[in-house]
Chains A and B, each alone.
Chain A
Amino acid sequence: MSIRARFQVARGAFRLDVDLQLPAAGVTALFGPSGCGKTTLLRAIAGLDRIAGGFLEVDGEAWQEGERFRPPHRRPLGYVFQEASLFEHLDVRGNLEYGRKRSPDGASTASLAETVDLLGIAQLLERDPRTLSGGERQRVAIARALAVGPQVLLMDEPLAALELERRREILPYLEALHRNLRIPVIYVSHVPDEVARLADHVVLLEAGAVRASGSVQEVFSRLDLPLAHDHDAAAIVEAQVSGHDAEFHLTLLEFAGGRLTMAREDLSPGSRVRLRIAARDVSLAVERASGTSILNILPATVDAIEATDAAQATVRLLAGGVPLLARVTRKSVARLGLEPGQAVFAQAKSIALLS
């Protein structure tokens, strides 16, 4: 399973020119500001829009090549739109059955039950879609897309039409999908936080072109990209829970770069979690500080330094090969004589659990 996509469009001021190889597993985020072409690309992959001269190959099969174009209803994919767009003339069960009935070699009844379970909609099956909340509707829409037993799931900003509260309600379900789905997911979003939580791989689009493509850790920490210079820039770290400190009510974590401590979360030892370490919360020292209140002190190497604005710089660090970011003043960079290759200690004041 691999996806190769090559599309070129020039429509008035809008341009799209991409040549991509997307990973065969995990969640790939098509990430960028509105108007950057991410939805256009997703619709072209689904076959909802036909971009003349495009090329698309999924799992060794050409879905579009030259004059050949496989219409959307003959592509084994699932698609979740920004608005749930449930069929209002059918109840929830009818919506789920619609696609399943039409995909004989797709999902079985057993896996439908699994999907219903995964999205927590078992008690909604007999309901009229018009009586559901926005979050419930979108969960049904996701289950409906999965019920066809797709080989790839495409999601076009499934949270964008929801209010903040509904978004919070639905994110855990998306994270559960991320953990449980064996098929690749292509997820369109313009929200860094969603991408940080859900994506494994990020394709950063800018004005219709691919600005960067890489792992989420990589793309979020590259100093030549705008993300690392954002006010809320952060490194994403995958870690494993190693235990808890009962006395001080802490959770202990481990990753390639060392050990981390955070306020206790209800996590079982051994489970894998995704953490967010904000660049603003990381300070640097050339010697291991003693007499500090900061618990998370990691030995690291300076990888690169870039000025973020007139006063501040962002430093990219590698701790056991894992990228971290630190936002410090340019004065500090000069005073400490920081330069690439230098060994430093990264002091993280706080760590947030993403999933």
Chain B
Amino acid sequence: MMLSEADLLALAITLKLALISTAVLLVLGAPLAWWLATTTWRRKYLLEALVALPLVLPPTVLGFYLLLTLGPDGPVGSMMEALGGQPLAFTFTGLVVGSVIYSLPFVVQPLQDAFAAVGRRPLEVAATLRAAPLDRFLTVALPLARPGFLTAAVLGFAHTLGEFGVVLMIGGNIPGETRVASIAIYDHVETLQYAHAHWLAGSLLILSFLLLVVVYATHGRFRVVRT
């Protein structure tokens, strides 16, 4: 027995979710990490703590609040309805929103470290070479922080693969839409279909391991939680 068609679909949804979430995370995380690495604001630790929150919160807590926010009666959900859309709860888009928040620290922290390692000097040099602030960010800070981007992308991707609690709360279990691999595994175990569970769990295990091998092979080390 191999992966069933339903399981393959769940795996595909998982990969699609991880890919899109990672892309969104990098686009949003880079300026946020840049700001955190360079600001002289004394209370930046407030924002750092907020970004790190998903590391310690049970995913169900995060999912619960997201459900309230994104659901038809929540502020975002009702706004979406007022604009002629539909609430994000129980949709793939809602899953992306949840994943982005859930994996935020895994992307922002390596990026912030990478930007901090680049330091102020190369940007000062660029300023004396006529580069405006955005130009300096794009042509000096980003390329010099490139190793951090690889780490951030792989960690964000791998962490989204393993998402369960948030999806359970806001995704429901709609095949082809929000049914991801981790939920499918849970279902298989619930219904005592251990062989199915094995195939799917094994696939995720190997995939995650390979991704982490890439990170360690190219870097040697990374930190997720700063001390």
Measured CB to CB, the residues of A under 8 A from B are 46-48, 71-74, 77-79, 81, 83, 85, 87-89, 98-99, 102-103, 106, 144-145, 148
Nearest B residue (CB) for A48: B124
Contact of A144 with B122 in the complex, beta carbons under 8 Å = no
Q: Report if B128 contacts A (CB, 8 A).
A: yes
Instruction: Kindly identify, within residues 107 to 143 of chain B, every residue whose CB is under 8 Å from any CB belonging to chain A.
Output: 121-122, 124-133, 135-136, 139-140, 143
Given A87-B140, A89-B143: A71 and B122 within 8 A (CB)? no
Inter-chain contacts of A78 with B (CB < 8 A): 128
Contact of B125 among A81, A89, A103 (CB under 8 A): A81
Q: Report if B144 contacts A (CB, 8 A).
A: yes
Given A85-B121, A87-B140: A145 and B128 within 8 A (CB)? yes
Contact of A77 with B144 in the complex, beta carbons under 8 Å = no
Given A73-B132, A88-B144, A89-B144: A83 and B121 within 8 A (CB)? yes
Contact of B144 with A73 in the complex, beta carbons under 8 Å = no
Sample of 7 further A-B pairs with CB below 8 A, known A87-B144, A89-B140, A148-B129: A47-B127, A48-B128, A72-B124, A79-B125, A102-B135, A145-B128, A145-B129
The distance in angstroms between the C-alpha atoms of A89 and B122, with both chains bound, is 11
Contact of B125 with A85 in the complex, beta carbons under 8 Å = yes
Nearest B residue (CB) for A78: B128
The distance in angstroms between the C-alpha atoms of A47 and B128, with both chains bound, is 9
The distance in angstroms between the C-alpha atoms of A103 and B122, with both chains bound, is 18
Contact residues of B: prevailing secondary structure: helix
Nearest B residue (CB) for A43: B124
Contact of A72 with B121 in the complex, beta carbons under 8 Å = no
Contact of A81 with B121 in the complex, beta carbons under 8 Å = yes
Inter-chain contacts of B128 with A (CB < 8 A): 46, 48, 72-73, 77-79, 99, 145
Contact of A87 among B122, B124, B130 (CB under 8 A): B122
Inter-chain contacts of B132 with A (CB < 8 A): 73
The distance in angstroms between the C-alpha atoms of A103 and B127, with both chains bound, is 12
B57 to chain A, nearest CB (A): 37
The distance in angstroms between the C-alpha atoms of A88 and B144, with both chains bound, is 8
Inter-chain contacts of A148 with B (CB < 8 A): 129-130
Contact of B130 with A85 in the complex, beta carbons under 8 Å = no
Inter-chain contacts of B133 with A (CB < 8 A): 73
Inter-chain contacts of B143 with A (CB < 8 A): 89
B129 to chain A, nearest CB (A): 3
Nearest B residue (CB) for A98: B129
Inter-chain contacts of B124 with A (CB < 8 A): 48, 72, 81
Contact of A102 with B131 in the complex, beta carbons under 8 Å = yes
Contact of B127 with A71 in the complex, beta carbons under 8 Å = yes
Inter-chain contacts of B131 with A (CB < 8 A): 73, 98-99, 102
The distance in angstroms between the C-alpha atoms of A251 and B150, with both chains bound, is 64
A141 to chain B, nearest CB (A): 8
Inter-chain contacts of A74 with B (CB < 8 A): 130
Sample 19 A-B pairs with CB under 8 A, ordered by A number: A72-B127, A73-B130, A73-B131, A73-B132, A79-B125, A81-B121, A81-B125, A83-B121, A85-B121, A87-B144, A88-B144, A98-B129, A98-B131, A99-B129, A99-B130, A99-B131, A145-B129, A148-B129, A148-B130
B24 to chain A, nearest CB (A): 26
A97 to chain B, nearest CB (A): 10
Contact of A85 with B129 in the complex, beta carbons under 8 Å = no
Inter-chain contacts of B139 with A (CB < 8 A): 98
The distance in angstroms between the C-alpha atoms of A47 and B131, with both chains bound, is 13
The distance in angstroms between the C-alpha atoms of A2 and B60, with both chains bound, is 67
Nearest A residue (CB) for B140: A87
The distance in angstroms between the C-alpha atoms of A89 and B139, with both chains bound, is 10
3 A-B pairs with the lowest CB-CB distances in the bound complex, closest first: A99-B129, A102-B130, A79-B128
The distance in angstroms between the C-alpha atoms of A73 and B146, with both chains bound, is 24
The distance in angstroms between the C-alpha atoms of A83 and B140, with both chains bound, is 17
Contact of B129 with A102 in the complex, beta carbons under 8 Å = yes
The distance in angstroms between the C-alpha atoms of A143 and B126, with both chains bound, is 14
B109 to chain A, nearest CB (A): 22
Inter-chain contacts of A48 with B (CB < 8 A): 124, 127-128
Nearest B residue (CB) for A100: B129
The distance in angstroms between the C-alpha atoms of A74 and B133, with both chains bound, is 11
A56 to chain B, nearest CB (A): 15
Contact of B130 with A103 in the complex, beta carbons under 8 Å = yes
The distance in angstroms between the C-alpha atoms of A74 and B121, with both chains bound, is 18
Given A88-B144, A89-B143, A89-B144: A144 and B129 within 8 A (CB)? yes
Nearest B residue (CB) for A77: B128
Instruction: Kindly identify, within residues 142 to 164 of chain B, every residue whose CB is under 8 Å from any CB belonging to chain A.
Output: 143-144, 146
**Most chain A CB atoms below 10 A, which of B126, B127, B130, B146:** B130
The distance in angstroms between the C-alpha atoms of A103 and B139, with both chains bound, is 16
B126 to chain A, nearest CB (A): 7
Inter-chain contacts of B129 with A (CB < 8 A): 73, 98-99, 102, 144-145, 148
The distance in angstroms between the C-alpha atoms of A82 and B128, with both chains bound, is 14
The distance in angstroms between the C-alpha atoms of A148 and B130, with both chains bound, is 8
The distance in angstroms between the C-alpha atoms of A106 and B121, with both chains bound, is 23
B128 to chain A, nearest CB (A): 4
Inter-chain contacts of A89 with B (CB < 8 A): 140, 143-144, 146
The distance in angstroms between the C-alpha atoms of A99 and B124, with both chains bound, is 12
Nearest A residue (CB) for B145: A89
Nearest B residue (CB) for A86: B125
Nearest B residue (CB) for A89: B143
